[in-house]
Amino acid sequence: MKKAYQEMSKDELLALKNRLEKDFEDAKGMGLKLDMSRGKPCPSQLVMGMDILDTLTSESDMKALDGVDTRNYGVMDGLPEAKELLAGMMGVKPENVIVFGNASLPIMYDTISRSMTHGVMGSTPWCKLDQVKFLCPVPGYDRHFAITQHFGIEMIAVPTTDEGPDMDMIEKLVAEDESIKGIWCVPKYSNPLGISYSDETVRRFANLKPAAKDFRIFWDNAYAVHHLYDDRQDEILEILSECEKAGNPDMVYEFCSTSKISFAGAGVAAMAASVANLDFVRKSMTIQTIGYDKINQLRHVRYFKNMDGVKAHMRKHADLLRPKFEAVQEVLERELAGLGIGSWTKPNGGYFISFDAMEGCAKNIVAKCKEAGVVLTNAGATYPYGIDPKDTNIRIAPSFPTPDEMAKATDLFVLCVKLVSVEKLLAQD
Amino acid sequence: MKKAYQEMSKDELLALKNRLEKDFEDAKGMGLKLDMSRGKPCPSQLVMGMDILDTLTSESDMKALDGVDTRNYGVMDGLPEAKELLAGMMGVKPENVIVFGNASLPIMYDTISRSMTHGVMGSTPWCKLDQVKFLCPVPGYDRHFAITQHFGIEMIAVPTTDEGPDMDMIEKLVAEDESIKGIWCVPKYSNPLGISYSDETVRRFANLKPAAKDFRIFWDNAYAVHHLYDDRQDEILEILSECEKAGNPDMVYEFCSTSKISFAGAGVAAMAASVANLDFVRKSMTIQTIGYDKINQLRHVRYFKNMDGVKAHMRKHADLLRPKFEAVQEVLERELAGLGIGSWTKPNGGYFISFDAMEGCAKNIVAKCKEAGVVLTNAGATYPYGIDPKDTNIRIAPSFPTPDEMAKATDLFVLCVKLVSVEKLLAQD
């Protein structure tokens, strides 16, 4: 039975510190150079997907199902078959989908940007308002927060549990404050927690009564089909139909992409929303673009064919990713369980494991890891403005290194967690 | 020798009108269904370019020259070799280039949108100003005007001659009015005139002394390599270096794409500007995107290799386009020369021929053509707000139909020009 650090005497802690410092010096000597900072697919995943490039050749019929020539101008909002494929990923109807370019981040950015300059379905442009606020469930995705910060939108952090964000707090805030115009959500295998919203959470989202008519839920369903296991898969309620049932059909924008299905940065991305929302989006779109890359849309549709094709492909990704997640979990469990110096999530999908250190330790742990050659996401990145008030959260991204490298990197990580925790406890005396 | 319509007696005009009306009824009976409305590549051009799809297969090395894996995240502003290729098209240095997504229109839209929300290199965001104006050389490109109109920017039309826009007027206006923040230019084989700016015009642009520090020239070099002939090619001065020489290094944004080189809507597009401008753009870009489609960039670079490759490819496009332009010119010359009811441009490149009818006739000509099955760009489209004050300009886009169809369509067009002109002259009596 392990002893929790908090129960150790000062002498025990000092002895432990000496040993850990020696281990850390040894670790530094190993010359590690590993990156667990971003949710990047690994080379094997990229090699696995290469045959998508053979889908379209100079011999291919380049016409879409409706006869449109994908090599020419036209079709602003996506090929019908591309809408259908991406609708399938989100569990919505094709008429609720617009297919855009190579990634979903620019769609989200454009959605905020358009709201700033043109409002939302007839509302006052946000740039004309004195104050615009967004709710940000934490820990969350740094790039979401970066967008709202870039546009001068005030961010309010909302804590998250296993079930999703704190709905009591959200319900209260949106009902009271008309300047709250949106909330960032990653509802499935969330970044970085890896949790999925419970049915009750989704229903409470759909039933929100925001003071602002132009309040929108930004539902970034980035990991909709990104399961790690065959037998343990999270599923969430489909938000568009829940919003419709609740009499709030226009309250949500959903986003998804194939960035972590086909190729990162060379996929296709989509937005799902009510037809009224999409019609408003199309008004700006028709000025902004003649159309996105339909050849790449056709390539994806011909390659994946349908949702069965997507699911079969995702199983291959899972086979490559699972050992890495398991390597991390194994080391964390073996080295940290029972020590009282950290807790972590055990997601069934997605790209991240979220680690919570003792208060005030996250930054130092990340710095120590870096000193020994392991790069983690900056501590604080998972919070608005990059500030984690308790300095506890660290996002672990196991996808890029090999399972063996991941085990080594986690060995170093737990060593740093122990060392920083001991130092913290000694400093508290 | 033909007699100008203006010199005809009323009886002559009436007789002519009867004959033309009969011809028009016959023409309607032919059941034409031709589209000369947009600068769309034709099917033969698309077939000609199909082998670009064989450039990357599942066997390809997907690394860029600097070792970056094009299948993964990263490289926000373009592969180095893609920058070099597109820099070559614009005659600028690669460090002055950012490569974006599939088309240049969204880059221009985003540039205006960013100026609205974030200003230009530190200036007040345009959405915070009472008034923002743009100069619009006319006739010009309807999609440019649509962007500025969408953002509530007031447009001021500037007439154009063979040498380019009226520089006296432009110099005076930009020096006097700080609310003038930009000007739309298509400097080479302009849309729709097909003219190219003279060296003096380009130098006067580079030497502008705008009252607004955040004034920018939007230099849409859409037809940089789009010659129709081997022996008659327009060349224009390179604007970035001219601006630098004139002490105005930051005054211009240049845009180009491969939409009419590889595939329309599935090409790559770029912006060229001073490093200071690009650094400011990158500040927003780093929030907006992780990166554009690098695989498509690689595909283009591997296929075209360099500017010689681009030029050889453009010769094939020219061989397909030239007969269409010549078919139009032949009919216009044969049927309308000397009649005093229309004039037209004879461009050496680009995608358009611009026709000027007698005042007050353009709308009726376009309507008559439509009645008999030939679709032209809406009259007025080449002017801000869709309003051509003299109702004279018609844009002819010969690229899409076959040469034979183009000749037939132009036969109908000249018939409609004659008929509407006769009606106009009779009504004036």
Q: What is the pLDDT of residues B300-358, one digit of tens each?
A: 999 999 999 999 999 999 999 999 999 999 999 999 999 999 999 999 999 999 999 99
CB contact under 8 A, B290 and A146: no
Give me the mean pLDDT over the B45-59 stretch.
98
What rounded mean pLDDT belongs to chain B? 97
Chain B: closest CA distance from residue A372 (Å)? 24
CB contact under 8 A, A293 and B57: no
Q: Is B293 on the interface with A (CB under 8 A)?
A: yes
The closest CB to that of A113, out of B58, B113, B147, belongs to: B113
| B160 band by pLDDT with thresholds 50, 70 and 90 | very high
* Per-residue confidence (pLDDT) for residue A428, from 0 to 100: 86
CB contact under 8 A, B125 and A125: no
Chain B: closest CA distance from residue A147 (Å)? 6
CB contact under 8 A, B57 and A58: no
Residues of A in contact with B54 (CB under 8 A): 57-58
Q: Is B128 on the interface with A (CB under 8 A)?
A: yes
Chain A: closest CA distance from residue B344 (Å)? 26
Q: Is A18 on the interface with B (CB under 8 A)?
A: no
CB contact under 8 A, A71 and B106: no
Chain A residue with Cα closest to B119: A151
The closest CB to that of B41, out of A72, A147, A295, belongs to: A72
Q: Is A66 on the interface with B (CB under 8 A)?
A: no
Q: Is A78 on the interface with B (CB under 8 A)?
A: no
Give me the mean pLDDT over the B193-197 stretch.
97
Q: Is A360 on the interface with B (CB under 8 A)?
A: no
pLDDT in tens, A122-156: 999 999 999 999 999 999 999 999 999 999 999 99
* Per-residue confidence (pLDDT) for residue A1, from 0 to 100: 61
pLDDT at B38 over 90: no
- Of all residues in chain B, what percent carry a pLDDT higher than 70? 100
Q: Is A124 on the interface with B (CB under 8 A)?
A: no
pTM: 0.97
Residues of B in contact with A290 (CB under 8 A): 103, 105, 143, 264-265
Q: How many CB pairs under 8 A join A and B?
A: 166
Chain A: closest CA distance from residue B315 (Å)? 19
Token pair listed for B399:
């690229």
CB contact under 8 A, A58 and B62: no
Residues of A in contact with B102 (CB under 8 A): 101, 292-293
* Per-residue confidence (pLDDT) for residue A341, from 0 to 100: 97
Q: Is A46 on the interface with B (CB under 8 A)?
A: yes
- pLDDT truncated to tens, each residue of chain A (429 aa)? 689 999 999 999 999 999 999 999 999 999 999 988 889 999 999 999 999 999 999 999 999 999 999 999 999 999 999 999 999 999 999 999 999 999 999 999 999 999 999 999 999 999 999 999 999 999 999 999 999 999 999 999 999 999 999 999 999 999 999 999 999 999 999 999 999 999 999 999 999 999 999 999 999 999 999 999 999 999 999 999 999 999 999 999 999 999 999 999 999 999 999 999 999 999 999 999 999 999 999 999 999 999 999 999 999 999 999 999 999 999 999 999 999 999 999 999 999 999 999 999 999 999 999 999 999 999 999 999 999 999 999 999 999 999 999 999 999 999 999 999 999 999 986
